[in-house]
């Protein structure tokens, strides 16, 4: 995974093992940064890694 890679919502769903509405909720609440390209949402791969790291820190 490259840090500058942009993921689709479906990619993030697969990586986090969650549903589409959960991913959009994370985007809406700004817990998962994203960029708009036309009508599409793209999430930087590094943002997904940061989100997971943050969740792990809270769980510890």
Predicted TM-score of the model (pTM): 0.88
**pLDDT value, residue 46:** 94
- How do residues 30-52 score in pLDDT, each as one tens digit? 999 999 999 999 999 999 999 99
**20 has a pLDDT exceeding 70:** yes
Give the span between the Cα atoms of 56 and 53, in whole angstroms.
5
**2 has a pLDDT exceeding 70:** no
Q: Which residues contact 22 (CB under 8 A, 6 or more apart)?
A: 13, 16
């Amino acid at each position: 995974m490259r840090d500058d890679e942009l993921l689709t919502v479906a990619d993030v769903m697969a990586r986090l093992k969650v549903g589409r509405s959960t991913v959009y909720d994370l985007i809406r609440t700004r817990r998962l940064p994203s960029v708009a390209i036309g009508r599409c949402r793209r999430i930087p791969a590094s943002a997904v890694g940061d989100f997971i790291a943050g969740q792990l820190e809270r769980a510890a």
